[in-house]
Amino acid sequence: MPAQKDPIEIDPVELQKDLHDRMQRYLLTALPIHRLFPKLRAQASAELSRNNTLVRGPYLEALPDYPKTKSIKDLVDAGMLHEGFRDMDPKVFNRPLHQHQAEAIQAVVQKNENIVVATGTGSGKTECFLFPLIDSLLKANIKGRPGIRAILVYPLNALANDQLYSRIVPLLAKELGEHGITVGRYTGQTTQNKQRSYFQNEYLANPMIKDLFGDEIPDNWLLSRDEMLDTPPHVLVTNYAMLEHLLLLPKNAPLFQNADLQFLVLDELHTYAGAQASEVSLLLRKLRNRYAPENTLRCIGTSASLGDSPQAQKDVIEFATRLFGFPFSQVITAKRESHYLLETEAAKTRLAPEQWLELHQILQSVRHLQDEQERITQWNDRTMDANIELLVEKEGESLSQLLCTTLASDESVREVSDILSKEGLQSVANLAQRVFPQGLELAERALAGLVAIGAYARESSSSFPLLPARYHLFTRGIEEATIELAHSDHHEENAVNLRFRREFKDPETDKSRFRLMTCRKCGELYFEAFEKGQHIIPEHGGPGWKRSVFWLKPKDSYVIPA
């Protein structure tokens, strides 16, 4: 069995330290301080070294999978979906659908309902409308009969392009190409007066498109405006601004010749609000009145999660109904769930933090091996040498599959999964000490090992890991620097107590603090103050106070060295 390709593993704690060091060096470079102020330079370096807000984290977030149900194959076998789906990529055809994807397909295909799919990022919302749409086109047997049947409207060209390249074109123009379904993108990026060859060269410069089609894009992907005006695509990908343009200008009328609009999809429904929502609503009514007067149009909106409460879903249904001008029946939502083995297997073991460290090192030493049996053998040999009872062996299964089953019964894995599922994003330091209360450094390293092994362990190369998770690190710059002015007789730099925060009064000494300013070219230092007569204060004092910028060290008080 060939070894699966592993992602690069990153140590989150070491990454945090490295980022902090890099941020410190950058900020010291970005805030140059003249060599005539060595004490302030030293204070700046020390302040940044102990500043723990430059890089916050690492934090750990669980990314469990969505509940699964029947596959596209099952729906084809049951007669719900067209037989043409059998030409799909077998991996996708046989893979279980997310439950919310199956619900969307059933609602549109069997019940002819208008729906909003409100699920999280990466939940497969595109398939929720793409599969029912394709089913309708396959059943209509439209090969060789140009005319728009579906319009997919995206708020941004970047979103349209991403979905076109990664989801829509591979399925329609490649896998199901023999069925003659045509697709075209008509946006501002589909430049006027450019021929197909121009766009083909542009698209094939994208490695993903090159890998998909080789040296020539198939004819059922219409690339130029002229192509689409001559033979309108069955599936039109556009944005709402261009859709208005298409409906208003007579020169675009050929695009809608023989149109039989059956599907209208609005992606990122939550982005439409206020006056823009009113404009889009009127635009959709104009589109419907011209090209879908028989009310056979199916409307689908997709959005990020909008809340699971009955009132939230009612509000979404009312909004979609007003926006599209068609009645909507339901909002399809989804919630990620922990790996089913963590729910069904009984807890049997609890590995110590030192054992997680050892197992992590073993995994790092064997995961690169190409021969799966050699990988398993070395894992077993090394765990025996470390006196860890975690032998794995089963005919025909990989190390990642065996570990998935074995580690599902570990209490520490279950505890991490449970905390992340119920409480959300967690500081690695806090989570580590909750799970391994034996000391912070050991606990953090043990947690990193547990997460790495949990992410490696999976039932198959295409399934979610036992413990899918990702790390977050947040960086920030410095707000500004403030100082206390000091008498030059005692402090030759005229300033003390540099701090990287906006603070105009010391909370302990009640002394005034002034904003420090630096010339980015030479590093000369100044301070900002507001003056009135012979008095200066760090903040604006109202009428009569004038803002001024002073040399921290007046020029006539020193000679710049050569």
User: What local confidence, expressed as pLDDT, does residue 519 receive?
Assistant: 85
Question: Does pLDDT of 163 surpass 60?
Answer: yes
pTM exceeding 0.75: no
Cα 267 from Cα 155, distance rounded (Å): 7
Cα 433 from Cα 156, distance rounded (Å): 44
Least confident interval from 87-96, 242-251, 390-399, 447-456: 390-399
User: pLDDT tier at 262 (50, 70, 90 boundaries)?
Assistant: very high
Range 363-368 average pLDDT = 91
Question: Model confidence over 498-518: pLDDT tens digits?
Answer: 988 889 999 889 999 999 988
Dihedral in degrees, nearest 10, Cα atoms 476, 482, 488, 492: 0
User: What local confidence, expressed as pLDDT, does residue 6 receive?
Assistant: 53
Under the phi-then-psi rule, with left for phi > 0, alpha for psi from -120 to 50, and beta for the rest, what region is 214? left
Q: Which DSSP string corresponds to 140-167? A: HT-TT-----EEEEESSHHHHHHHIIII
Range 336-355 average pLDDT = 86
Question: Does pLDDT of 1 surpass 50?
Answer: no
User: What local confidence, expressed as pLDDT, does residue 111 receive?
Assistant: 94
Q: Which residues contact 406 (CB under 8 A, 6 or more apart)?
A: 390, 392
User: What local confidence, expressed as pLDDT, does residue 257 receive?
Assistant: 92
Question: Model confidence over 277-320: pLDDT tens digits?
Answer: 999 999 999 998 899 877 789 999 998 877 678 888 899 999 99
Question: Model confidence over 308-344: pLDDT tens digits?
Answer: 788 888 999 999 999 999 999 899 998 888 888 888 7
Return the H-helix or E-strand segment holding 101. helix 99-105
Range 468-480 average pLDDT = 85
Cα 149 from Cα 235, distance rounded (Å): 6
Least confident interval from 142-156, 163-177, 388-402: 388-402
Query: Of the candidates 527, 503, 414, 390, which has an alpha carbon nearest to the alpha carbon of residue 467?
Result: 414
Average confidence score pLDDT of the chain: 89
